[in-house]
Structures are given as C-alpha cells and as structure tokens.
Amino acid sequence: MIATLKAFGDRVLGRGDAAITVPIFDGALKPNQLLAGAETVGQFEDANDIATDGKTLLVVDGGRILSMGDGGSTEIARFDRSVTALCALPRGGIAIALAGEEVRIVGGPEDGRRWVDAGGAPFHAANAICCASDGGLAVTDGSRRYEWAHWTHDLMDRGWSGRVVFLDPRTGAARVGVAGLEYAFGACASGADTLVSESWRHRLLAIGPGDQRRVVLDRLPVYPSRIVAAAGGGFWLTAFAARTQLVEFVLRENAFRRRMMKEIAPEHWIAPRLRSGESFLEPMQGAHLRTMGVLKPWAPPRSYGLVIRLSPQGTPLYSLHSRVDGVNHGIVAAAEFAGFLYLLAKGPGRLLRLALAGIEQELAA
C-alpha cells in the first residue's frame, strides 16, 4: 500500500523511478571526435558483426561471411538467412547465429553442431556469441518477444525477456544461465566469469560459474552492446545508442508509447536509432535546431557512436566518440587485429579502423 502510494507520488512529482535523469558523458566518457575521424575500410549493406581468429578479420554482411584481406574481401561462407552473431573458435571454425533463431558451428572439430532451443524455449534473438574459458560458448538471446531486428520494439515495450545461454560444443548441451534480463546484447569471457551487457538497464553484468550475477558497471548513459577482450588486458565495450531524457520520458509515458507503437512507423518513433537525420519525419528535439547552419554536437543523440575501453576490472578508462554531428553511429562490434582496432558502425554500414598506438597518443595529447 505504502509502496503503491510512493510510486504514485513519484509519478506525479517525477521522482524516484519516474525521474528521467540521464548520467552525463563525463570522466572516462568525456566526448571526443576520435571515432568521427576513423578510417573507413569497408562499406556494407547489412553488416551485423565482426570477429577475428588472429589470422584474419571476419565480417558478417547479411547472410555472407567475409574475410577481409589487404586487397579486399573474400567470401568464406554464405547462408540463406542473416547471420546475427559471429565468434571465431580457438580450435578452429566459427560459431554463428542465424536470424537469431539458431546457433551453429561451422568448421573446426565440432562442425555442423546446431542448437535451436535452450531450456525448452527456442532461440529468438540470439545476437552475440563468445567463447568461454572452459571451451564452451556463451550466447546472449536478446528478447523472446521480438525478433532480432526489432530491438526498438523490445525497448519501447520495456522488454525483460533476455537471457544468457551456455552451450557445450563437445556434448551439445545447452543450459540457460540467467533469464529475465532487460535485453541481453553482448557477452565476453573474463576469467571464470562471463561479462554480459544488459542494454535496457544500461549496465554490465558479470555472471559467475554458479550463475550468480554481479553488477560490474551501472548507470551508463548509453545502451551497451557487444564486448570483446582487448589485447593489452581489459575489454572494448561497444554502445549502439545513447540515452536521452526524451526517450527516458517516453518510456515512462505508457499511453503515449502504446499509441506511438500502434500508429507510427518504427523509424519515426521517439526511440534510439542506429542512424538518424535521414528524414524530416523523424522527431526533432530542441537542440537539434540547426542554427546558423550548424548542428550542435552536444544535442540529444537520436543515434550515437561510442566504444568504451574497460580495465580488466571493468572500470572505464577512456572512450571513443562520434557525436551527434557525425555519422559513424551505432557501433555494435569491435575487434583488435594486427595493431588496429576495427569497429563496426552499423548505422552507416561502415567498417572503421583506428591504429591502437594512435588512440593512446591522441588521448594523451
């Protein structure tokens, strides 16, 4: 009773859970334009993920898996459905997710092994795969209600059906580690733990061997996505969109949200996107007003480009940005390869590259 009254009071006064405050980009997240100036090494129609096996860089473009070489790309596999996640296995071969509904191993000793469900429920939006230290695989399944491409629907519906599934390639066993996550998107092994991004709660979880959860990073101003280990220790955490107060507000306005989802095309919702500024039908916010021909980089981001470098303990060290006035938005995947940091900006469909040595230099300057 008291809790109900308190919740009601909060809603009226905009306090507590009804507060729409968003942390600012500060400290290690202080904005820069490093990502905006990154070199574009590839342009893809429908790129979804990148990975490296140490010898080559692999890029998923729709149903194709490409190997990036010096002179261009070569196709190494092709599927009739979109590949939604990719992971190079240490013993050879790759693990992929197909249309979010099937996880399959291609090549290597366990070639052809496949999973379509786990814990009695089918995969619905498998969006990231990582190799665990014990030789198993961890898969994040974003939502059980909306398919992989409809993540905006899941956010706007305040989805909480994401889960982490552990697979054993040798035995074919599948086990649900944790469920009920508010969109799981991205996993990475960290010792015996598995780091998992819980996007709609803006946090990074560590899942222990006994499936116990620990919050590593909380209250991020962004929606975190895939994570990869950095060669120098620590991790690269990508963020595919940034939070805005307007979206936080809309998330608390149930009547408006329901009508918006029913009456308006998804690309024109008040919701984070991977790219923006393409149509005047998109909602415009106050600071988006182009004044004297200039769009302010600090305007509330409908789409944003960000990758955060984490320490081995999960503390943010620094970050690379492409701000509102840039286009390298919607960073969904990262990979370190041959002295470069490769990033996949899904917004413009670009594969970006930054020299690792250069990053540290730029930030030190």
Partner 1 sequence: MREAVLRLRYRFWPDHLLGEILSKRWTETAIPVIVLLIVAVAFTRAIPGFLSPASLADTARQAAEIGFVVLGMALVIVVGGIDLSVGSIFALTDFCALFCLDVLELPVPAVVVITIAFGALLGAVNGFLIGYLRLRAFITTLITLIIYRSAYDLLLFDYSNTIAAAFPDTPLWNFMGGGDILGVPSVAVLYGIVAIFGHVFMTRLRPGWHITAIGGSRRSAYNSGIPVRATIARCYAASGALTAVGALFFAARLGTVGGDVGVGLEVTVLTAAVLGGISLGGGRGSVARALVGTLIVLLITNGLTTLSVRGGVNRMVLAGILLVAATIDIRWLKNRNRIIAKVYVSPTFHEMPRLQPVGVGSNVPFVQNDRLSGVSLIGLGRIEAPEDVILDRHDNLYAGSRHGDIIRFFPPDYEKMEVYAHIGGQPLGMAFDRSDNLYVCIGGMGLYRITPDRKVEKATDETNRSLRSVNDDSRLRLADDLDIADDGRIFFSEATVRYEMHEWPVDGLEARGNGRIVCYDPRNGTTRTVLRGLKFPNGICVERGSQSILFAETWGCCVKRYWFDGPKTGQVEMVMENLPGFPDNINLASDGNYWLAMVGMRSPALDLAWRMPGFRRRMAKRVPIDEWLFPNINTGCVLRFNSKGEVLETYWDLAGVNHPMITSMREHKGYLYLGGIQNNRIGRLKLDGADPGFVQYDRRWGKGT
List interacting residues with partner 1 (CB under 8 A): 14, 20, 244-246, 249, 253, 255-256, 259-260, 263-265, 268-270, 279-293, 299-300
Residue (of 294, 293, 267) closest to 278 by Cα position: 267
What kind and span of H or E run contains 242? strand 235-242
Beta bridge partner(s), residue 353:
39, 342
CB of 43 to partner 1, least distance (A): 20
Name the minimum Å distance from CB 341 to partner 1. 31
Supply the minimum distance, in Å, between the C-beta of residue 75 and partner 1.
33
Sign of CA dihedral 127, 52, 317, 357: negative
* CB-based contact 63:83 (threshold 8 Å): yes
How far, in Å, are 154, 183, 300 from residue 148 at the CA level?
A: 10, 11, 26
Least CB distance from residue 260 to partner 1, whole Å? 6
Structure tokens at 338: 């041959």
* Nearest approach, Cβ of residue 266 and partner 1 (Å): 11
Q: In angstroms, what is the minimal distance from the CB of 26 to partner 1?
A: 17
Q: Minimum CB separation from partner 1 for residue 277, in Å?
A: 9
Is the separation of the CB atoms in 247 and 272 below 8 Å? yes
Compute the distance between CA of residue 48 and CA of residue 149 in angstroms, rounded to an integer: 10
Give 163 or 243: the residue with its C-beta nearer to partner 1. 243
Closest among 252, 230, 120 to 175, alpha carbons compared: 120
Q: Are the C-beta atoms of residues 105 and 89 closer than 8 Å to each other?
A: yes
Encoded amino acid at 188, one letter = C
Q: Please, which residue, 171 or 245, has the CB nearer to partner 1?
A: 245
**Which one, 18 or 28, has the nearer CB to partner 1?**
18
Half-sphere exposure for 59 (CA within 13 Å, toward CB)? 26
Least distance to partner 1 from the beta carbon of 20, Å? 6
- Residue 103 or residue 156: which is nearer to partner 1 going by CB? 156
The Cα 68–Cα 262 span in angstroms is: 42
Q: What is the closest distance, in whole angstroms, from the C-beta atom of residue 313 to partner 1 in the complex?
A: 33
Per the CB < 8 A criterion, the answer to whether 150 and 127 are in contact is no
Closer residue to partner 1 in complex, CB, 222/260: 260
Q: What distance in Å separates the CA atoms of residue 329 and residue 33, rounded to the nearest whole number?
A: 12
Report the nearest approach of partner 1 to the CB of residue 255 (Å): 7
DSSP class of 301 = P
Q: Is 295 exposed, middle or buried (0-12, 13-18, 19+ CB in 10 A)?
A: middle
**In this complex, which beta carbon is closest to partner 1, that of residue 104 or of residue 268?**
268
> What is the pairing mode between strands 213-217 and 305-310?
unpaired
Of 13 and 357, which has the nearer Cβ to partner 1?
13
Q: Which pair of structure tokens corresponds to residue 342?
A: 């490769």
Both tokens of 343, joined, read 């990033």
| E strand or H helix that includes residue 306 | strand 305-310
Nearer to partner 1, 26 or 263 (CB): 263
Q: Which is nearer to partner 1, 11 or 219 (CB)?
A: 11
Q: Which is nearer to partner 1, 210 or 293 (CB)?
A: 293
